[in-house]
Structure 1
Amino acid sequence: MIRSMSGYGRGVAEDEGLQISFELRSVNHRFFRLGLHLPARLAFFETTARQLITERVQRGKVDLTGTIRGPSSLSDVQIDQELAASYAESFTVLAGDLGIEPEIDLAMLADLPGVVSRQSTRPLDPQGDKARAKEALSEALDEFEAMRTAEGLHLADDMKQRFEVLTNMLRSIEELTVDLPHRYRDLLLTRIGSLMDDVSVELDPARLAQEVALFADRCDITEELVRLRSHIHKAGTQLDNGGPVGRPLEFLLQEMHREINTIGAKAKVAEIGDIVVDVKCELERIREQVQNVE
Structure 2
Amino acid sequence: MIYSMTGFGRGEHSNEAFDVTLEIKSVNNRYCDIIIKMPKKLNVFEDRIKNKIKAQLSRGRIDVYINLDEKAFDNYEVTANYDVLDKYVKIYKDIQARYGLRDDISLTMLTRLQDGIDVSYLERGEEEYWRSIEPALNQAIERILEMRKQEGQQLKNDILSKVESIRKTLIIIEHQAPRIVDAYKTKMKERISELLSELNAELDEIRLANEIAIYADKTNINEEIVRIYSHLEQIGKILASNEPVGRKLDFLVQELNREVNTIGSKSPDIDISNLVIELKSDIEQIREQIQNIE
TM-score by structure 2 length?
A: 0.80
Name the SS of the counterpart of 1:182 in structure 2: helix
1:32 aligned residue: 32
Partner SS for 1:157: helix
Aligned to 2:190: 190
**How far has the Cα of 1:123 moved from its partner?**
6.3
Which whole-Å deviations, capped at 9, do the CAs of 1:143-173 have from their partners, x for residues lacking one?
1100000000000000001001111111111
After superposition, residues 115-194 of structure 1 pair within 5 angstroms as 124-194=124-194
Aligned twin of 2:201: 201
2:267 matches 1:267: yes
Matched-pair contact (CA < 8 Å) for 1:8–1:143: yes
What does residue 276 of structure 1 align with?
A: 276
Partner of 2:254: 254
Q: Find the aligned partners of 2:122 and 2:61 in 1 and give their Cα distance.
A: 37
Q: Deviation at 1:179?
A: 2.9
| Corresponding residue of 1:233 | 233
| 8 Å CA contact retained: 1:4, 1:152 | yes
8 Å CA contact 1:8, 1:24 repeated in 2: yes
Deviation at 1:192, TM superposition (A): 2.5
Structure 1 residues 164 and 122: CA distance shift in structure 2, 3 A = farther
* AA in 1 matched with 2:202: E
Aligned residues of 1:42 and 1:66 also touching (Cα < 8 A): no
Partner SS for 1:16:
coil
Which consecutive unaligned segments of at least 5 residues does structure 1 have?
A: 77-120
Cα displacement (A) at 1:209: 1.4
Q: Which residue of 2 aligns with 1:19?
A: 19
CA drift of 1:29 comes to: 1.1
Structure 1 residue 200 displacement after superposition: 1.9
Hey, what does 2:288 align to over in structure 1? 288
Q: Residue 69 of structure 1 corresponds to which residue in structure 2?
A: 69
**Number of residues paired by the alignment?**
250
The sequence identity of aligned pairs, in percent, is: 34
Give 1 or 2 for the bigger CA radius of gyration: 2
Counterpart of 2:219? 219
Cα deviation, 1:31-89, whole Å, max 9, x if unaligned, reads 2211011112322321210110111111110000101003567789xxxxxxxxxxxxx
CA contact (8 A) 2:16 2:71 kept: no
Deviation at residue 127 of structure 1 after TM alignment = 2.1
- Give CA deviations for 1:71-119 in whole Å, capped at 9, x if unaligned: 567789xxxxxxxxxxxxxxxxxxxxxxxxxxxxxxxxxxxxxxxxxxx
Whole-Å Cα distance in 2 between the matches of residues 138 and 191 of structure 1?
Answer: 77
1:8 corresponds to 2:13: no
Find the residue that maps to 2:35 and give its secondary structure.
strand
* Contact kept in structure 2, 1:41 and 1:68, CA below 8 Å: no
Task: Spell out, residue by residue over 1:175-214, the C-alpha distance to the aligned partner (whole angstroms, 9 max, x if none).
Answer: 0113332111111123324444533222212221111111
Q: Secondary structure at the match of 1:24?
A: strand
Tell me what 2:245 maps to.
245
Counterpart in the other structure of 2:43: 43
Once structures 1 and 2 are overlaid, which stretch shifts more, 4-13 or 178-187?
A: 178-187
Q: TM-score, normalised by structure 1?
A: 0.80
Q: Using a 3 Å threshold, how does the CA distance of structure 1 residues 194 and 122 change in structure 2: closer, same or farther?
A: farther
Q: Secondary structure at the match of 2:198?
A: coil
Paired position in structure 1 for 2:96: none
Q: Give the match's secondary structure for 2:29.
A: coil
State the alpha-carbon separation in 1 of the partners of residues 141 and 73 from structure 2: 31
Letter of the structure 2 residue corresponding to residue 128 of structure 1: E
CA contact (8 A) 2:19 2:68 kept: yes
What's the counterpart of residue 85 of structure 1?
Answer: none
Give the superposition deviation at 1:126: 3.0
In structure 2, what residue type is equivalent to 1:129? Y
